[in-house]
Amino acid sequence: MSMIQVQEALDTILSKIKFKGVEKVPLSQALGRVLAEDVVSRVNNPPLDNSAMDGYALIAEDIQSATPENPVKLEVVEEIAAGYTAKGILKPGQAMRIMTGAPIPSGANAVLMQEDTQKDGNNILCLDKADVEENIRLAGEDVKIGEEVIKKGTTLSPAHIGMMAVVGRSQIAVGQRPIVSILSTGDEILELDETPEGPQIFNSNGHMLAAQIKSAGGLPVYLGIAKDTEKDLMEKFESALKADVVVSSGGVSVGDYDLVKSSLQKMGQDMLFWKVAMKPGKPLAFGRIGDTPIFGLPGNPVSSFVSFEQFVRPSLRKTMGCSDLSHKTVQAKLTRTIHKKPGRLHFLSSIVSWADGEYTVTPAGEQGSGILKSAANANGLLIFPLEAAEIKQGQEVAVQLLG
Ligand code: AMP
Ligand code: MG
């Protein structure tokens, strides 16, 4: 079994992961999906020069001398509401009442806000001057016809949804979501509605993996628990193959009942069994059964969690055509000195916060591969580099932001 670094394992895996395909969805279903086309605007936004304020459209030169003590009087000749166009052309000495979003009438070159005016019968008194283009939003200042507004590969946020509505898109091409089957393994593992006795524990990995798959954008299919026999494992792996991707947990280490490896060896192609130079995690299986990529993750809950985030999540993102495969990483100032043995890259479940213009990071409690509590309290994974043995309080470290 070869020892391999995290990045090399990820590169090898990603080189074998394919894009699943495109589907069209209504805009209402597009949040969180990965855009599969470049969105190009077919409209100008705003379509016309329009008012940014409720006030009066006028000619800036007419009111250059206006002050509260020496107001300039203009004749109000028309009123323009949003959605309507002025009938006339504005001439010197005139103003038009205008509402926010209404088009600027021809002849006008500024809007004086209502607060700087006083009504005087059919006239207004301008109490302040205005610059040319003041309070005018220019046609196309947000988006111009032909402009690319969102790039292919983007994961769509609420503001992206708004942007697509701005340019009038009701249907949108996105990457298809991968169906991912989850197989937990182990004679000691129980379903949540069973009653544990003695050494038995609940299937936490299966449910955590389902949630991780969902939050990566995939569609989890929970297949339950396989016993530690090749027969049961092979049967359950066989039924897992209807999915686009298979993820199992447990049984990839060196124990006598770690039979996922030997089962996959019999069923799979190009199966790779690695020791990845990381902690938590280390044993990792990757290969294919038929055309379906399969990940054999380690069984310890934190190892399973972290291995998923490092290897499976980027793979699922790739099947959807996402341009950012891995979590965002930030530099953060360590709040206390940390130590480890060199030789493996450690991921520490950590709490990242933003204060006074910088990120700080604190490891979240005990870091064992079975201490899921620390991961549950964390919002980031601190990356303690392979060869490092100590990082001092106050130094900057890279932290992967989760979620
Ligand atoms: P294994 O890799 O199968 O040797 O499992 C390593 C450790 O992870 C053992 O303590 C298992 O009981 C535990 N484990 C394996 N699978 C699960 C699971 N689905 N949920 C919770 N713990 C598990
Ligand atoms: Mg096991």
Q: How confident is the model at residue 2 (pLDDT cuts 50, 70, 90)?
A: low
Please determine, for residue 280, whether its predicted confidence score (pLDDT) is greater than 80.
yes
User: Would you state the pLDDT for residue 249?
Assistant: 98
Rounded Cα distance between 161 and 327, Å, is 22
In the block, residue with structure tokens 């004086």: 112
Which option is the CATH number for 329-401: 3.30.70.1560, 3.40.640.10, 3.40.50.970, 2.40.340.10?
Answer: 2.40.340.10
Q: How far is the CA of 144 from the centre of ligand 2 (A)?
A: 58
Q: What percent of the chain has pLDDT over 70?
A: 100
Which ligand has its closest atom nearest to the C-alpha of 249?
1
In the block, residue with structure tokens 């450690």: 346
Rounded Cα distance between 11 and 29, Å, is 32
Which ligand has its closest atom nearest to the C-alpha of 186?
2
| Phi, psi of 157, rounded to the nearest 5 degrees | -100, 170
User: Would you state the pLDDT for residue 1?
Assistant: 54
Rounded Cα distance between 108 and 270, Å, is 72
Model confidence over 29-52: pLDDT tens digits? Answer: 999 999 999 999 999 999 999 999
Q: How far is the CA of 228 from the centre of ligand 1 (A)?
A: 11
Model confidence over 326-383: pLDDT tens digits? Answer: 999 999 999 999 999 999 999 999 999 999 999 999 999 999 999 999 999 999 999 9
Ligand 1 touching residue 184 (CB < 6 A): yes
Rounded Cα distance between 90 and 224, Å, is 74
Model confidence over 154-207: pLDDT tens digits? Answer: 999 999 999 999 999 999 999 999 999 999 999 999 999 999 999 999 999 999
User: Would you state the pLDDT for residue 166?
Assistant: 97
Q: What is the pTM of this model?
A: 0.93
When pLDDT is averaged across residues 95-117 and rounded to a whole number, the result is: 98
- Half-sphere exposure of 136 toward its Cβ, with a 13 Å CA cutoff? 24
50-137 falls under which CATH superfamily? Molybdopterin biosynthesis moea protein, domain 3. (2.170.190.11)
Would you kindly state where each structural domain of the chain is located, as residue ranges?
A: 6-21+176-319, 22-45+142-175, 50-137, 329-401
**6-21+176-319: what CATH class?**
alpha beta
* Residue from 183, 247, 249, 295 whose mutation best tests the ligand 1 pocket (most atoms within 8 A of CB): 249
Q: How far is the CA of 249 from the centre of ligand 2 (A)?
A: 8
User: Would you state the pLDDT for residue 185?
Assistant: 98
- On average, the pLDDT of the chain sits at 97
Ligand 1 touching residue 283 (CB < 6 A): no
Q: How confident is the model at residue 403 (pLDDT cuts 50, 70, 90)?
A: confident
Which ligand has its closest atom nearest to the C-alpha of 199?
1
Question: What SS3 string covers 196-207?
Answer: CCCCCEECHHHH
Ligand 1 touching residue 301 (CB < 6 A): yes
Model confidence over 223-269: pLDDT tens digits? Answer: 999 999 999 999 999 999 999 999 999 999 989 989 999 999 999 99
Which ligand has its closest atom nearest to the C-alpha of 192?
1
Q: Whose CA is nearest to atom 7 of ligand 1?
A: 300
* Residue from 185, 201, 263 whose mutation best tests the ligand 1 pocket (most atoms within 8 A of CB): 201
22-45+142-175 falls under which CATH superfamily? Molybdopterin biosynthesis moea protein, domain 2 (3.90.105.10)
User: Would you state the pLDDT for residue 29?
Assistant: 98
- Per DSSP, 308 falls in state I
Model confidence over 305-318: pLDDT tens digits? Answer: 999 999 999 999 99
Ligand 1 touching residue 368 (CB < 6 A): no
